[in-house]
Amino acid sequence: MTWTQQDGLEAVETGIPSNYSRLIARELDLTLSQLPTLLHGTGLPIQQFLSEDNLLTPAQQIQILRNALALSGQPEFGLRVGKRLTPATHGAMGFAASSSPDLLSALQAIHTFLPTRVSVIQLHLQQIEDHLECRLAFLMQLDDDLQRCVAETIIMTLLAFGEFIVGRPLYEAEIGFSYPPPQYHATYSECMSGRVRFGCDQLMLRLPMVLCREPNASANNENYRLALRQCESMLAELQTQKPSYQTRLKKMMLSRPPGTLSEEEAAAALFMSKRTLARKLKQEDSSFRQIRDEILSRQAADYLSGSQLSVESIASLLNYHDNSSFRRAFKRWFGRSPTQYRQHGDSSDTTPRS
């Protein structure tokens, strides 16, 4: 059996969350005054780089990684970064994978939603007899040092998810790298469980199916479903080859805690004034408030219909300062209270009002 990603996503230059690059800065132990060296050639202002969940282009991310390799002076820097990456580092995708029923479901979630996190590499899953092969393909041309660095990091990421779910090192894993053994190849066995081989046809992780189907002791069905919904929303926004300003804004909002992105922050991230952003959204028959309401109303409706969370808890999750504000907003969206929606939502029109 083979799992393939949705057609068309390979060509989309999706944004990469900047938290990965801030993690790189911490690994290098850089001070604020040293950040310009890490950001050299990216055109990124320091303030924008430090903004939580700001999105980078693939070219900016690769340049930061190139600069980091030079600053570290260590060819094994990819292994150092890989050690820092936990499931929680990967946002909604990591939440969905870590709460999955088993390792197979987790890898399928990563396979499907990887474009929402990283757009320079693609994951293919294929079951061959009693093993699952996780094959990774680069979507950008990288020089040898960068390709090795990214390969080390992504393999350690997959192993970290596996070890979190199974609860132990993946001794049964077979790892194949497509490059010759580097000078520091002995370090691989210290960082990675399983058997490591070099000079393979393709970057690959191979796991026994019996291991992939072991139940996840940390599985949480409600968290899993909620995280999948958020990932699906984010993925849907990536389908447009030439994203509108509405799409860009939705992607930014979905990449941050609900309701926390301000219009000023959104305009700054798009390198324009608040007035210019409002004008461009008006040309698309939309507005910042309309898009914000669309996302918050959809998330509120999902929580009410798909969970047993209290109205107070949902208001808190959506970053409303008090329950009454949330209840007023909800009634404006749907013409009824959250309690009435939960009781009759499945049999009524659930489309929010403009």
pLDDT attached to residue 237: 65
107 and 39 both lie in a single domain: yes
- Residue type for position 259: G
Model confidence band, residue 242 (pLDDT cutoffs 50, 70, 90): low
- Residues of the chain with pLDDT > 70, as a percent, come to 90
At residue 174, φ and ψ (nearest 5 deg) are -120, 125
191 has pLDDT over 80? yes
The more confident residue out of 100 and 349 is: 100
Task: Of 252, 251, 250, 324, give the one whose Cα is nearest residue 293.
Answer: 250
pLDDT attached to residue 11: 37
Return the structure tokens found at 286.
């939309």
In a domain, 280, yes or no: yes
**Domain end residue (candidates: 212, 230, 259):** 212
In a domain, 236, yes or no: no
In a domain, 88, yes or no: yes
Q: Which CATH number goes with the domain that contains 323?
A: 1.10.10.60
Model confidence band, residue 12 (pLDDT cutoffs 50, 70, 90): very low
In a domain, 80, yes or no: yes
Model confidence band, residue 265 (pLDDT cutoffs 50, 70, 90): confident
pLDDT tens track for 50-104? 877 678 888 899 999 999 999 999 999 999 999 999 988 898 899 989 999 999 9
82 and 202 both lie in a single domain: yes
Model confidence band, residue 347 (pLDDT cutoffs 50, 70, 90): very low
166 and 260 both lie in a single domain: no
Q: Which CATH number goes with the domain that contains 84?
A: 3.90.1520
Residue with tokens 């930014």: 252
Distance CA 352, CA 333 (A): 5
Task: Of 345, 106, 78, 110, give the one whose Cα is nearest residue 216.
Answer: 106
Model confidence band, residue 33 (pLDDT cutoffs 50, 70, 90): very high
In a domain, 228, yes or no: no
Q: What is the mean pLDDT of residues 36-41?
A: 95
Give the global pTM.
0.67
Return the structure tokens found at 340.
């009435």
206 and 247 both lie in a single domain: no
32 and 142 both lie in a single domain: yes
Question: Rounded to 10 degrees, what is the CA torsion of 309, 312, 315, 321?
Answer: -160
Expressed as residue numbers, the domain containing 277 is: 243-347
Residues paired with residue 124 on neighbouring β-strands, in sequence order: 135
In a domain, 28, yes or no: yes
How many structural domains is the chain composed of?
A: 2
pLDDT tens track for 298-320? 888 888 887 888 899 899 889 89
pLDDT attached to residue 10: 37
348 has pLDDT over 70? no
In a domain, 218, yes or no: no
pLDDT attached to residue 1: 60
